[in-house]
């Protein structure tokens, strides 16, 4: 039986969804939140993209999935509001892989 892997993009922000589409993540499953049942179903090879709390990112990694953090260098005057895809580009949005381990 052939195992399939999934890419999940966790965000509720329309600008981030558009940014992901523009960066070739057409196959990503878009979710507003990562619920416990979805976390429990993750396995090796699955990819989770987004901005997760560290304890959730740690659980993703513990299950063998890969975590890619959506990093953005947002200047103070742009904080606290939803950004569009163009603003995300201007602020250097990028996906960076992290391996999160609780010690």
Q: How far apart are CA 34 and CA 31, in angstroms?
A: 7
pTM: 0.92
Residue 2 reports pLDDT greater than 70: no
pLDDT, mean of residues 43-71: 96
What is the three-class DSSP state of 60? helix
Confidence of residue 9 (pLDDT cuts 50, 70, 90): very high
Residue 70 near residue 11, CB atoms below 8 Å: yes
The reported pLDDT for the residue numbered 4 is 82
Higher confidence at residue 2 or residue 52? 52
pLDDT tens readout for residues 82-91: 999 999 999 9
Q: How far apart are CA 100 and CA 2, in angstroms?
A: 28
Q: Which domains occur in the chain, in start order?
A: 1-70 (3.40.50)
């Amino acid at each position: 039986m052939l195992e399939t892997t999934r890419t999940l993009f966790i965000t509720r922000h329309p600008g981030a969804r558009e940014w992901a589409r523009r960066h070739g993540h057409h196959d990503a499953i878009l979710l507003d939140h990562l619920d416990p049942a979805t976390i429990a179903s993750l396995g090796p090879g699955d990819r989770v993209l987004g901005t997760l709390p560290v304890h959730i990112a740690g659980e993703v990694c513990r299950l063998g999935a890969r975590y890619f953090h959506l990093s953005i260098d947002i200047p103070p005057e742009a904080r606290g509001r939803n950004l569009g895809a163009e603003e995300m580009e201007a602020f250097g949005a990028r996906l960076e892989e992290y391996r999160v381990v609780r010690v």
